[in-house]
A and B are shown apart, each in its own frame.
Chain A
Amino acid sequence: MKLNPHFLSIVIMASAFFSLAAQANDLVVSIVEPYIDFRTGPASEYPIFHVAEQGETITILKKKTGWYQAMTYTGQEGWVSAEQLGKTIKPSGELLYVPTGSFEDYTKRTFEFSAFGGMLENMTAMSVAAAWNATGNLVAEATYTQALGDFSENKLWSIRIQHHIFPEWTVSPYLTIGAGGINTRPRSNLVQSGDEVRKSDFYEVGAGIRYYFARNMVMKFEYRNIIALTDRDDQEQIEEFKLGFSVFF
């Protein structure tokens, strides 16, 4: 492959500029363990092509999942595992803090994103939720659910508060309370005069159990009871069971 030298020189100059600009913000750490492995890619499957020794300094360039791209003083670039990088020291002499998805990181989480699959009454329901961990015990959460049944399509959103009774447990129960809205649209083939969307507000209470199982992942099982404030004389009660999966940051 032939490259245009002018283009090449522009690229090199640009990269020189960027590397210089980056150096001002790059983190340089020293190796205190006997050695550190450099891999060709950000996964344990990739081969080790270089080893940096004790006493050397390496520059951390970026992070991809649990892997850090680092550069040796000779300019070798490779990927180092979070586990190995966590044993290096910063210029201040402190150990570099590297989140390895330990239980400690889990208890210190700030944001959490979840996806669920489940049943809303007898309809298949999918939910997504974003949560903010306020105190460890109290968590604020926004949820969105879509339930597509044989007779209607339902969209639910809610804002709620979770109370984690024992946040320090790996398997931990929690209670929720919240409010939201539901949009129900009957299937078009069942309605003669176009779509008539029904909108109602609702309150919800629920309980769930969460299990921290690996790195930054949590499994959840949840039940909620929804009281929809309909225009009709009767309030509508809806039950939902769901099983989900969360990642936290």
Chain B
Amino acid sequence: MVKRMKFNKNVVLSTVVLLSIGLLNAQVLAQSSSVKSAAPSMQTNTDQPPALIDPNIERREINESDIDTEDLEIGIFGGFIAIEDFESSAVVGVSLAYHINENLFLEARYAKATAGQTSFEKLSGGAPFLSEAERDYTYYNLSLGYNINGETFFTDNLVFNSDIYFTLGGGSTEFGGDERFTISAGAGYRLLFTDFWALKVDVRDHVFTSDIIGIEKDVHNIAITLSTTFFF
């Protein structure tokens, strides 16, 4: 009984679809017939009888350049970044990637966060190290990434294409009134819900030399982000 109901629903759905296709086709046909009806009226002006077989076959002029290319991937992301000595903060950003081939891609990222206070500032209750403006933490990087393509099986029938990727790149970090060359390296997981829509989880370390707290040292700022991206 239940199965029968389901079948009926399918029949209804397919009739609706067929009808919608039929209607659209009718519209297209009506348009083309209106074009055709205009053509003979033009011909009547000439004395030549209408040709029985029109030798001029209209070819649809579609070429290779009309193929929709989806090599670019645009996305937004959000997550957390641990800023060495300055607590961890929320981070938001945008990304743009170009897929060179099935494995290699180039990715540009730009993100913003606001750094917290050092434990010294908190415990001493004294003057802050940085002004509010200097606590703005912005960074960009350009990375080369490598995809390890695969599939993710949630159940036997629910399967999505996915990949694990690694990135290595360079960029800059502006923080504490200073801008520093920053090396970034990370790994992530990309789950493709459709051919053009993906969800990514990304862990990335950002290393640069900093002397904000007095001594010069290499700092590691690790960001964990979740992004949604679209291929276009």
Residues of A in contact with B (beta carbons under 8 Å apart) = 1, 5, 8-9, 12-13, 16-17, 20, 25-27, 40-46, 60-69, 90-92, 96-98, 113, 115, 117, 124, 126, 128, 146, 148, 153, 187-189, 215-217, 245, 247
Contacts and interface: CB of A to CB of B under 8 A. Distances in A.
B11 interface: no
A12 B17 contact: yes
Interface stretch (B40-48, B85-93, B96-104, B109-117): B96-104
Interface in B7-39: 9, 13, 16-17, 20-21, 24-25
A41 to B, nearest CB: 4
A40 B64 CA distance: 23
Contact of B64 (A13, A98, A215): A98
B124 interface: no
A60 B66 CA distance: 10
Nearest to B16: A9
A17 to B, nearest CB: 7
Contacts of A69: 195
Q: Which 9 A-B pairs have the closest CB atoms?
A: A43-B102, A188-B177, A62-B68, A148-B181, A43-B149, A41-B161, A45-B149, A124-B181, A63-B69
**Dominant secondary structure of chain A at its interface with chain B:** mixed
B225 interface: no
A215 to B, nearest CB: 6
A231 B32 CA distance: 71
B100 A65 contact: yes
Contacts of A97: 64
B9 A189 contact: no
B132 interface: no
A247 B106 contact: yes
- Residue in B17, B67, B68, B144 whose Cβ sees the most chain A Cβ within 10 Å: B67
Contacts of B98: 113, 247
Given A62-B67, A68-B67, A124-B181, A26 B62 contact: yes
Nearest to A15: B17
A26 B67 CA distance: 8
A187 B178 contact: yes
21 contacts: A5-B13, A12-B17, A13-B16, A20-B21, A20-B24, A20-B25, A27-B62, A46-B161, A63-B71, A64-B70, A64-B99, A65-B99, A66-B101, A68-B67, A91-B59, A126-B170, A146-B172, A148-B179, A189-B178, A217-B104, A247-B98
Contacts, number: 116
Contacts of A189: 177-178, 211
A215 B69 contact: no
A43 B163 CA distance: 11
A40 B151 contact: yes
A115 B172 CA distance: 14
Contacts of B63: 27, 90
A26 B63 CA distance: 9
Contacts of A216: 100
A27 B61 CA distance: 9
Given A9-B16, A65-B101, A188-B178, A60 B67 contact: yes
A65 B163 CA distance: 15
A112 B211 CA distance: 38
B80 interface: no
A128 B9 CA distance: 56
Contacts of B211: 189
Nearest to A124: B181
A27 B106 contact: no
Interface in B171-230: 171-172, 177-181, 195, 211
B166 interface: no
